Amino acid sequence: MSDAHAAHAPQSFWSRYVFSQDHKIIGLQYLITAMVMALVAAGLAVLIRIQLAWPGSLGIMMTPETYIAIVTMHGSLMVFFVVSLALVSGFGNFLIPLHVGARDMAYPFLNMLSYWVIVPACLLMLISFFVPGGAAAAGWTSYPPLSALKEAVPGSDWGQTLWLLAMALFIVSFTMGGLNYLTTILNCRAPGMSMMRMPLSTWTFLISAVLGLLTFPALTAAAVMLLFDRHLGTSFFLPSGMVIGGKVLPHEGGTPLLFQHLFWFLGHPEVYVLVLPAMGIAFDVNSAMSRRAPFGYKVTVVSLLVAAVLSMIVWGHHMFTTGMNPYVGEYFSIMTVLITVPFAVIGVNLIASLFKGRIKFTTASLFGLGLISAIGLGGFGGLYLGTAASDLYFHETYFVVGHFHMMIGVVTFFGTFAGLYFWFPKMFGRLMNERLGRVHFWLTIVGTFATFLLMHFQGMGHLVRRTFESAYDFQKPVTGMHYAITFFSVMAVAGQFVFLYNFFRSIWRGEKAARNPWNAAGLEWTTESPAPHGNWRGPVPQVQRWAYEYGRNGHAEDFQLQAEPDRVGATEPAAH
Amino acid sequence: MHAAAMAAGRRAPTVPLGLVGFLGTTIMLFTTFAASYLVRRTSADWRPVDLPLLAWANLALLAGASVTLEWACRSAARETRGKWLAATALFGLAFLGGQTLVLAQLRAAGIFAQTSPHASFFVVLSLVHGVHLVGGLGALVYGALRPAALRGCAVFWHTIGVIWLALLVFISVM
């Protein structure tokens, strides 16, 4: 370890585990915070499902106003405080320095700050359930006028203000994280670690960071203007002629659609901020588990970049039903369907990477493989929604709910779990229990796939989303599925308790792991498990090759570590 | 800060990449406001508000801050550097005071944030830019303690200065 780094190695409990500047501890802090928030968000999902299957069974606890608040908070927490925290902040922090051969993030203090800004954000979100009027109820998208007028719904008062403050803190934290990822990946790589030798997950974290830095400001600006509309009487988003309680409001001339444009300018790339790292993790995990290098590494990198660029110019496909000019709609349709090209390449590469592989079906690889199916199914739904003509029918229905849960729910969770089972030894020096892992996997895949596939069919029957009850006769043929969906979603949630038990038990009781239990080739497996402060005792390793040197026939071992000097007689791998 | 970069045998850059990224996200923020402005001005209730002359005079204070900070960057002696940094901070504080005065003048003329969308944008932009300037004052303190960080500090000040000039021209012309 370099002397400079050893000098600030943490001494006390507080500096080691609480106000830590070590990227690995910060990554774990994010992961565990995400788990806590996931419990709340999943609990809200169960409440939604109970109400839909057995309307009225929750009594006064579930009024239409609380229902819409619960839907809002489930979405907001899951997107920003569970998936973003676990996948991007959690794994991003834990993996990037280990993957690029850095001792820590470029700005460790900023990194610590980013975590301690997210904690009050989480608390504000949780507290908002208990303020007058309850939590925000304008949807995770917070469209005005519902979000802009305090009188609109009970949650529009205090709840919405807290929601906006929490989101402001979230954006501050995410920006600090993004600056760290960008700088660490571009400036702090170990000698020999060229960009094209980096693991694909590191590429996806880099792309995520840049996307976040470029698109989150749109939401910041929208939130600032929304706060002005709410508290200072301006009319950025509020049109004239609105009447509440028999009184005409003084606002005039504002355009609620402007908010939608700003929101989705962030909202769409945010999906990619979350989904791309999940796919990157799948590439890493699957290649180690199938003893095959990812197929088409360079093409995958280019496809990830193309998908990221396209993701910034397609936001309008969330707004086809707003009465936009058909030519504008056509543009957004064409651009959206164009994303199929890089995504198909990535999907095919994920599958082709398995070809002729010797796949070991560990829990990590099960999740990594399940993720490929989820991308496929989610992607197919996306075709119908990306095309303006079919979206006009589907937009207000459960088809959309099923589709986006498949992508930013299932794909991201599967990526998170694949990563957790795979890198758990590097985090804690122990292995997670495989038998419990399998139980977790099967409950999760059956539960989630059944839940969200059935929602697609409900949407085809035009079951309208965001509604408290499905009261129309024409919806009758598909409302019966509510029982099955509730059953399967509870199954999926139950599976997560198996995971939580396994995770926390394995931290102390798990089987001790060696330095490289999966015989994986990445740089992180050259250090001990768990990795020490500064990541490597002694000098930072000299990187010799890319992170996927598998399937070396005729050698004692079928893989070669990224930093291991070439053995005698070894041949340079074919161009990758 | 750059333990890893130095271990890898590289020199810590004078303008850190993190700052470049931060300026990128800042520019995106103000661009979003500008784009919103272009959308909002197409509404029927759009009435342009004449900005007080003081709003333009304040630009001179920002320019003064940039010049003195640039001199602070280039002075090798610690004492002269301190003097120029103090001058920069004074210019910055004077600018914030001047901006407050502009808002007060508008107020005295009966123009509030909710009077006209044009005024709303001016108030929002002044506040958001002011927050960045307060951040810049904090950065000055950091730069005074760590001279190596001064170059980055100056780049930040120049950028938010140019951003304000551009915004002022934009909302006067458009």
Q: What percent of chain A has pLDDT over 70?
A: 96
SS (H, E, C) A510-550: CEECCCCCCCCCCHHHHCCCCCCCCCCCCCCCCCCCCCCCE
- Cβ-proximal residues to A220 (8 Å cutoff; 6+ apart), any chain: A168, A171, B29, B32
DSSP A248-273: E-S--S--HHHHHHHHHHHHHHHHHH
pLDDT score of A6:
53
Which whole-number Å values give the CA distances from A383 to A15, A231, A452, in the listed order?
49, 41, 16
pLDDT band for position A293 (cuts 50, 70, 90): very high
pLDDT score of A567:
64
pLDDT score of A8:
59
Mean pLDDT of chain B: 91
- Cβ-proximal residues to B66 (8 Å cutoff; 6+ apart), any chain: B154, B157, B158, B161
A493 CA to chain B: closest CA distance, Å? 37
**Cis peptide leading into A154, omega within 30 of 0?**
no
| 8 A C-beta contact, residue A73 and residue A130 | no
d(CA A198, CA A170): 28
Which whole-number Å values give the CA distances from A562 to A130, A288, A308, A347, A549, in the listed order?
52, 13, 28, 25, 7
pLDDT score of A576:
47
In a domain, A531, yes or no: no
d(CA A118, CA A504): 23
**B152 touching A, CB under 8 A?**
no
| 8 A C-beta contact, residue A345 and residue A299 | yes
Interface test with B, best of A183, A207, A229 (most B CBs within 10 A): A183
A232 CA to chain B: closest CA distance, Å? 7
| Residue A472 clears pLDDT 80, i.e. is over it | yes
In a domain, A331, yes or no: yes
Please indicate whether, in this complex, the C-beta atoms of A265 and B32 are within 8 angstroms of each other: yes
**Cis peptide leading into A239, omega within 30 of 0?**
no
| 8 A C-beta contact, residue B122 and residue B60 | no
CA quadruple A407, A28, A109, B134: dihedral positive or negative?
Answer: positive
pLDDT digits (tens, 9 = 90+) for A132-141: 999 999 999 9
Report chain A's C-alpha Rg in angstroms. Answer: 24
Q: Which of these ranges, A223-227, B21-25, B76-80, has the smallest mean pLDDT? A: B76-80
d(CA A415, CA B91): 51
pLDDT score of A471:
78
In a domain, A573, yes or no: no
**B18 touching A, CB under 8 A?**
yes
3-class secondary-structure state, position A90: helix
**B145 touching A, CB under 8 A?**
no
| 8 A C-beta contact, residue B18 and residue A107 | yes
Please indicate whether, in this complex, the C-beta atoms of B4 and A253 are within 8 angstroms of each other: no
**B114 touching A, CB under 8 A?**
yes
Nearest Cα neighbor of A42 from A409, A408, A378 is A409
3-class secondary-structure state, position A430: strand
| Residue B4 clears pLDDT 50, i.e. is over it | no
Please indicate whether, in this complex, the C-beta atoms of A182 and B114 are within 8 angstroms of each other: no
pLDDT score of B7:
46
Task: Residue count of chain A, please give it.
Answer: 576
pLDDT score of A469:
86
pLDDT digits (tens, 9 = 90+) for A395-413: 999 999 999 999 999 999 9
In a domain, A560, yes or no: no
Burial of A111 (C-beta count, 10 Å sphere; 0-12/13-18/19+): buried
Please indicate whether, in this complex, the C-beta atoms of A106 and B120 are within 8 angstroms of each other: no
- Cβ-proximal residues to B10 (8 Å cutoff; 6+ apart), any chain: A187, B2
| 8 A C-beta contact, residue A527 and residue A538 | no
Q: Find the closest chain B residue to A229 by CA distance.
A: B114
Sorted by where each starts, the structural domains of chain B and their CATH numbers stand as 53-173 (1.20.120.80)
| Residue A575 clears pLDDT 50, i.e. is over it | no
Q: Find the closest chain B residue to A108 by CA distance.
A: B1
Q: What is the largest CA-CA distance in chain B?
A: 61
- Cβ-proximal residues to A315 (8 Å cutoff; 6+ apart), any chain: A261, A264, A265, A267, A268, A269, A332
pLDDT score of B75:
86
Interface test with A, best of B43, B47, B163 (most A CBs within 10 A): B43
d(CA A135, CA A128): 5
Q: Which of these ranges, A469-478, A496-505, B33-42, B87-96, has the smallest mean pLDDT? A: A469-478
Please indicate whether, in this complex, the C-beta atoms of A253 and B13 are within 8 angstroms of each other: no
Please indicate whether, in this complex, the C-beta atoms of A254 and B114 are within 8 angstroms of each other: no
| Residue A29 clears pLDDT 90, i.e. is over it | yes
Mean pLDDT of chain A: 93
d(CA A453, CA A99): 36
Burial of B131 (C-beta count, 10 Å sphere; 0-12/13-18/19+): exposed
pLDDT score of A245:
84
CA quadruple B112, B58, B41, A149: dihedral positive or negative?
Answer: negative
- A191, A213, A265 ranked by CB distance to B25: nearest: A213
**B11 touching A, CB under 8 A?**
no
Interface test with A, best of B32, B106, B107, B112 (most A CBs within 10 A): B32
In a domain, A121, yes or no: yes
Instruction: Collect all residues of chain A within an 8 Å Cβ-Cβ radius of residue B4.
Output: 97, 102-104, 106, 184, 188, 540
B66 CA to chain A: closest CA distance, Å? 25
User: Domain range holding A182?
Assistant: 25-238+256-526
Which whole-number Å values give the CA distances from A77 to A61, A122, A302, A404, in the listed order?
20, 9, 32, 15
Tokens for A118, please give them: 């997210």
| 8 A C-beta contact, residue A452 and residue A373 | no
In a domain, A551, yes or no: no
Number of domains in chain A: 1
Give me the CATH number covering residue A143.
Answer: 1.20.210.10
| 8 A C-beta contact, residue A134 and residue A159 | yes
Looking at residue A247, the DSSP 8-state letter turns out to be E
**B33 touching A, CB under 8 A?**
yes
- A110, A188, A220 ranked by CB distance to B8: nearest: A188
pLDDT digits (tens, 9 = 90+) for A335-358: 999 999 999 999 999 999 999 899
Model confidence, pTM: 0.94
Q: What percent of chain B has pLDDT over 90?
A: 77
| Residue A572 clears pLDDT 70, i.e. is over it | no
pLDDT score of A15:
84
| 8 A C-beta contact, residue A237 and residue A229 | yes
H or E, element range at A18: none
A14: region left, alpha or beta (phi > 0 left; psi from -120 to 50 alpha):
alpha
pLDDT score of B2:
44
pLDDT score of A565:
86
| Residue B9 clears pLDDT 70, i.e. is over it | no
d(CA A124, CA A161): 10
In a domain, A537, yes or no: no
Instruction: Collect all residues of chain A within an 8 Å Cβ-Cβ radius of residue B9.
Output: 191
In a domain, A421, yes or no: yes
Q: Which of these ranges, A201-205, A211-215, A269-273, A466-470, has the smallest mean pLDDT? A: A466-470
Please indicate whether, in this complex, the C-beta atoms of A213 and B28 are within 8 angstroms of each other: yes
- A103, A107, A233 ranked by CB distance to B7: nearest: A103
Please indicate whether, in this complex, the C-beta atoms of A182 and B17 are within 8 angstroms of each other: yes
pLDDT digits (tens, 9 = 90+) for A30-87: 999 999 999 999 999 999 999 999 999 998 889 999 999 999 999 999 999 999 999 9
Residue type at position B124:
V
Measure CA A247 to chain center.
Answer: 43
Please indicate whether, in this complex, the C-beta atoms of B8 and A224 are within 8 angstroms of each other: no
d(CA A230, CA A241): 17
pLDDT score of A568:
52
The three-point CA angle A425-A430-A436 to 5° equals 95
Q: Find the closest chain B residue to A239 by CA distance.
A: B43
B37 CA to chain A: closest CA distance, Å? 9
d(CA A463, CA A273): 30
B46 CA to chain A: closest CA distance, Å? 8
Please indicate whether, in this complex, the C-beta atoms of A187 and B2 are within 8 angstroms of each other: yes
| Residue A570 clears pLDDT 70, i.e. is over it | no
d(CA A564, CA A194): 16
